[in-house]
Amino acid sequence: MLTIDIITIFPKIFEYVIEFGVIKEAFSNNLCRLNIYNLRDFTLDKHKKVDDRPYGGGPGMIMTAQPIYDAVTFIKSKNNVIEKEGQKVLLLSPKGERLTQAKLKYLSGLKNIIIICGRYEGIDERVTELVVDEELSIGDYVLTGGEIPAMVIIDGVLRLLPGVVGKSESLECESFENNLLDHPQYTRPPIFKGLKVPDVLLSGNHVNIEKWRKKKSLDLTKERKPDLFDKKI
């Protein structure tokens, strides 16, 4: 069973993550375990501080190394993952590798994911050197902290676990699964506000439907995600 451990200074943000949709099913069916750790519980500072001023000057505060290091050490000891390749410590950072569907697939096959949620102006670089296996980013923009990106990873990983999403075909046909965007989707009614569902989808000819869907996927990918299209061809 996959165990996901979150290190954060705002644990309450995650209280409702497991309460909705297919994510709820993952936890209800014991397909995954989620542990939330308050970073302040690991600091040696009597005032529970986890940040300090940056050396060299500059704006804002930097998260200190000690509580993060101790939190990761505690979690690793508690989980006792024998095969170290099955455990990864992730730091969510704008400097990290861009999160992709392929990366989510890889993460879903692990035994343990430990996610460090940064805050303020960043974390002491020595944390990265000592305990972080990979830095990940969900996009080229800046958020107030790593909690929302952590939720993105939780959602993206859990829905790939066997038994979470109803049909495996649903996963196989989704955008990015084959380096292609998904084709346009339609449902009832056949006409809405003067816009009709493409005739081919109403024809019952599954060969032609599949050809149409593949062409639309290729066209959309070429138009909107040319980098993915180049990988496909």
Q: What is the DSSP string of 138-160?
A: SSSS--SBSHHHHHHHHHHHHTT
Spell out the per-residue pLDDT of the chain, length 233, in tens: 999 999 999 999 998 888 888 888 899 899 999 999 999 999 999 999 999 999 999 899 999 999 999 999 999 999 999 898 999 999 999 899 999 999 999 999 999 999 999 998 899 999 999 999 999 999 998 899 999 999 999 999 999 999 998 655 455 555 555 678 989 999 999 999 999 999 999 999 999 999 999 999 999 999 998 987 777 65
**How far is 193 from 119, CA to CA, in rounded Å?**
47
Nearest CA to 134 out of 108, 160, 115 is that of 115
3-state secondary structure of 226: helix
pLDDT of residue 171: 55
List alpha helices for the chain, DSSP H.
21-28, 65-79, 101-108, 125-130, 147-158, 168-172, 199-202, 206-224, 226-232
Please report which helix (H) or strand (E) contains residue 192, including its range: strand 191-192
Please report the domains of the chain, with CATH numbers, ordered by start residue: 2-158 (3.40.1280.10), 173-232 (1.10.1270.20)
pLDDT of residue 77: 97
Give the pair of three-digit tokens for residue 168. 């495996």
**pTM, entire model:** 0.86
φ/ψ bin of 200: left (φ > 0), alpha (ψ from -120 to 50), beta (otherwise): alpha
